Structure 1
């Protein structure tokens, strides 16, 4: 049965049933359907008869789209409804709103799915490796936290690293398998750029992270940076100017090589790839890495490590692949700076066997070294006269060192007879007076020497490019010279034999070796070196084998040797540029690297008598008295009687206060295998003391003697910081309980403030 809707004056639809006219209506509808076509948008097509009756017939499109059950009877037949044409527009508005709502809902669902996936994935990532390695793949931030996590499992970052800075941030990594425990190893690969491996391990109770980058194309240069403001930093070695802590210094990106490397000498002669952070972390870079370093470049508070062969002095023989750069280093975290430093001295740095070395160096430590450096023209009678005046002024006779101009030609190791007509007699006279004779030697061999000709035929010298001829360079005196190749076993045996013959023939008791010198351009060695500074290590190994006290101005990985490190090129000024203020920071930096025995330069710096500043000379002497070795060139009696009195007092303090403290520190602590260096920063006994971590004008001898010298011109007072403990004032004989500052402490010109810890 067909239903119809009639439109009244109130626009109400009236439903009528007309059984008698059913057939007539059906015929009329059939005739109209033949003339109807579906609308373009698939909506119902409607006809209006002459009486205002609207017949609504759903099209196939509307049936398929809507599927409204109300338009079907129980038999599935389509019902016709009466509908006003005015209701079409509101219906379309409702459809638009519905479509907009569905669109917004779709966008919301997509965003929700993405967020849920991201956080679920990140949580899974942290669960998988976050307990050991906390690395964010998207930002490439490495989090290094303390050795202990607190009870709430809240992590406290002590170091943040931004890794892979030369990889575009839009480049996403893929995981690479190491086939190991996924909680201790991470491997990621950025296609066309680099591969990163981070391995976690526990060593001696310390958390260690081994980080390795390998370039995947010849142009990619791995670069990682760490925040300096997370703590205070120490290490590296000799710098100019010398700053403590390191974050005070600015270094542009430079090859990390010791001085005299043709590249501006940003670094000194003693250099190690080792850094210590005050919160309890150490960073050690592998020595075969073509390392470039920047520190606070553009005031960015960053320490950056950069692995690059291109346009650098690093030899390319140590590439893991011949066409790529790489960067490898280790970070270890301990309970505090002292704990992790003790671990590093035992496991990460060459082991310093301090008391074994002390037995060899003791004669040089007990009494001052007297050197002829900066004393004008060097001649035999002047050496003898100097020795006599030392005795006449009632100073100790110990080592008397003849500077490097004793040779006729550099490299021959033969005395210049015009200066030393009878060196055997001079040696005998000096020994009768109680002196030991020392000679200064540089690593250069003049091209005019007989030794140079011999070495050319026997390939004893470092060769130049393409390994063809002996490489030439300039000596410290600007002479054209060659340099011994310590990778050549025959060359080292020849050199050691010549030194041994010299010592035996003339009674030489010690040698002082100048810096490594300026190597030839593009040097080639008998056996390839993994890094240029390995030359310095081999040279130190060679001369330390002489089994006598030796001084060295250059060192690398030489902490275990019986050597004294001589601070390079101290100058006559009060400042940090190789002047008096640089002495304590340099001694502390060398201590962090593991070097125990140091000479704080010639007392007063490199000036001769005519330009020497008396006040500076005395204050420098007071600092030197509390270092392991003292060294004079300008003699105290050459200034005035007051200086002589002060010098004798300082030498006596060195002998009666410092030397016994060194002995007790080395032997009472049973340091036969491992022992921390003698000179230490204040934080060594108070590793969590923020103030102690920044003091660069005080130092400790052992652990119980605090030294606070005057380092300012025309000053007789200074502020002194005391870490925890009870300290006995050795000038005023009272006690101070730390931690505390003492302001305006009076120190006369003939005094040095030092304090003994009593508890």
Structure 2
């Protein structure tokens, strides 16, 4: 090899060495930079409790499940600037002297305190925000992009299941009817995730809530519609369990049974066993007493029907709040009621705490110069309290009872008791309205932050002397039994039918197992067309599997085929459905466990059970799976069976679970349902 070749080879070796050294230097620089960033992240990130990581820079929280996966991700104190300086709280600032609490304070802005409570299968992190400035409203958000969320209650802009399908801007979490409030008439401050996490907000928080862009956000904000002007406080719990059904069960109110008498249990069983027959007086014509007699005679004209509760809805008074039947419309009503009772019916009348200013009751309520029974405007310069006027159901001159004023509550209860005795009425159904039918500003004898809580006071007032309140239209907690909750009206359309199942499932997991749904065929208003034959039959098939079945339009109003289908479904309900519902209902009295359940209650580890394609199926307990037909001209559908062995209710065949039945055929006379067989059953 010549000298030039040796020189060229030497230069090549030098270049390779330089390149290697440069690469090695670059790797060292990147490693040092990564270590620096990682080290600083670890400095900012702390693990204050088992399974919880907290990044102080942006106040993000990661809660892990028992397998190390993310169970919940949250961002706390959204209004605080990122990287804002926090300090440890002084011992004297800790709530309830919680010495083991984790507490931070942002000077002149807010204070955050976190404690933990544990039971065998449930861990709850208690979050307590205290605003230190009128410009700071505590706002926390939770990631909903990788999980499915349920709960909250009914909504006014199309009932959806799950919550991820909603797009609700930040708005007050109070009962409403679709004007300025986005939430409906039955609520509960609980939200559940498919991962087994739950958010439970304290009842005294002036809660605003948002669900959009894959985030659930809760905020505490003083002022209208809440009755508080103090610096806002945000108290809530983040609870985690091994799975969603377990978390729901452990957070349920297991005290529904407390104080329930034997006769009240009979009322529950009667509502489950026999239909509710709704007679809308506003839709009746001619002689009302004669119309009522004819209605009950038609019900008993066929063998498969049975008398149950006959529900008389308003208007039955001359003026709203008279609490006395209008004698000009009802001739010899006492005698008519006696005959109806002999036929086996029980009578329930609809009433409310709203009173017309033209009613005799209004005058009775003006008892003193400076105090009345009515919700009143805040006084000016120590002047008298002036009743506030409200509008409801096209009546623009109403006042509202103050249920927190004891003399008013006793007076109202006594009026209803007198009505019951005079006409042998068996029960009342309360239309309690929502916060949107209350005055904007009013004064109560007993202050309460959330105006929705008036529903609880109303129920308590009525039940003090009239135990049988059959149902209530509005609630923020499950009423004392035997009172059921009754869901809002549903239009006699396919959309009306489709909103019923999301409502039932939502209320069931929130701790409202005893529900009365809209009547078969929907709520038909005067001048409105009734449901088509197909819609009526599909609605009847669906309602056959619900805890209570309610009729307003009778099957007799259609044709012989509809009557035949109704008879077949009545037999199915009596022989198969009711024994199971009765058994589960007895369990629900003790534990508030849902009677109607989403299919993921049976297998929360199966992702198919949480999919959009299975949202229109449901379970009765863990025994019957129902896949109703909720769309027009539909004669086949896909059905998912969770794990186990299932008996096809239509043909009696056994089917293996954990799989789809695609293109399952069904005619107008059929509804797909499947009975879960005991473990170990062989195909």
Shorter chain as denominator, the TM-score bin is 0.7 to 0.9
Question: Paired residue for 1:313, among 202, 225, 232?
Answer: 225
- Pairwise CA distance, 1:208: 0.9
Q: 1:590 and 1:445 mapped to 2: Cα distance?
A: 30
For residues 91 and 677 of structure 2, the distance between their equivalents in structure 1, rounded to whole angstroms, comes to: 55
Give the match for residue 135 of structure 1: 54
Q: Deviations for 1:699-736, whole angstroms, at most 9, x for unmatched residues?
A: 11111111111001011111111111111011111011
Q: What are the superposed Cα offsets for residues 518-577 of structure 1, whole Å, 9 maximum, x if unpaired?
A: 0112121111112111101222333345222511111111254321221102111212xx
Aligned position for 1:392: 301
CA-to-aligned-CA distance 1:412-465 (integer Å, 9 cap, x gap): 111111111211111111112221112111331000011111112252111123
Aligned residue number for residue 276 of structure 1? 192
What is the distance in 2 between the residues matched to 1:514 and 1:675?
24
The equivalent residue for 1:341 is 248
TM superposition shift of 1:376: 3.0
Structure 1 residue ranges without an equivalent (≥5): 1-106
Q: 1:278 to 1:341 in 2, by over 3 A?
A: same
Provide Cα deviations, 1:81-139, integer angstroms capped at 9, x if missing partner. Answer: xxxxxxxxxxxxxxxxxxxxxxxxxx99x99998798467447x43xx25364211112
User: 2:445 aligned with 1:526, yes or no?
Assistant: yes
- The alpha-carbon deviation at position 145 of structure 1 amounts to 1.6
RMSD across aligned C-alpha pairs, in angstroms? 2.6
Displacement after TM superposition at 1:351 (Å): 4.5
CA offsets per residue over residues 323-371 of structure 1, 9 Å max, x none?
Answer: x222111011011111111110047xx6466997643322222111111
| Partners of 1:531 and 1:163 in 2: CA distance | 24
Cα shift at 1:301: 0.9
Kindly state the Cα deviation for residue 185 of structure 1 after the two structures are TM-superposed. 2.4
Structure 2 residue aligned with 1:721: 640
TM-score, normalisation: structure 2: 0.87
- 2:349 paired residue among 439, 447, 459: 439
Separation in 1, partners of 2:544, 2:668:
14
Q: Following the alignment from structure 1 to structure 2, what is the Cα–Cα distance between the partners of residues 603 and 524?
A: 41
- C-alpha separation in 2, matches of 1:553 and 1:142: 38
- Secondary structure of the residue aligned to 1:417 is coil
Structure 1 match to 2:553? 634
Larger radius of gyration: 1
Match for residue 169 of structure 2?
252
| Cα distance change, pair 556–120 in 1 and its aligned pair in 2 (3 A) | closer
Is residue 648 from structure 1 mapped to residue 563 from structure 2 by the alignment? Answer: no
> 1:690 matched to which residue of 2?
607
Alignment of 1:547-566 (within 5 A): 547-548=467-468, 550-566=470-486
Could you say which residue in structure 2 is the equivalent of 1:420?
Answer: 330
Whether 1:379 and 2:292 are equivalent positions in the alignment is no
**Structure 1 residues 496-535: aligned runs within 5 Å:** 496-517=413-434, 518-535=437-454
Match of 1:15 in 2: none
Contact 2:521 2:530 survives alignment (8 Å):
no
Question: For 2:506, which of 589, 597, 600 is the aligned residue?
Answer: 589
- Aligned residues between the structures: 626
SS of equivalent residue, structure 1 residue 188: strand
For residue 610 of structure 1, report the CA deviation from its aligned partner: 4.0
> Per the alignment, in what secondary structure is the counterpart of residue 315 of structure 2?
helix
Structure-2 change in CA distance of 1:384 and 1:209 (3 Å):
same
Q: Which residue pairs with 2:361 in the alignment? A: 451
Residues 635-668 of structure 1: per-residue CA shift (max 9 Å, x gap):
111111211121222222222222211222244x
Whether contact under 8 Å (2:172, 2:181) holds in the other structure is no
1:201 paired with 2:108, answer no
CA contact (8 A) 1:704 1:756 kept: yes
Tell me which residue corresponds to 2:101: 185
CA distance in 1, matches of 2:98, 2:427: 56
Q: Deviation per CA, 1:258-315, whole angstroms, max 9, x where unpaired?
A: 1148x5231110011111111111111111111111101xxx21111111114x3111
Cα drift, residue 234 of structure 1? 0.7
Distance 1:352 1:749 in 2: 40
Contact map agreement 2:51 2:63 (CA 8 A) in 1: no
- Contact kept? 1:272, 1:556, Cα under 8 Å: yes
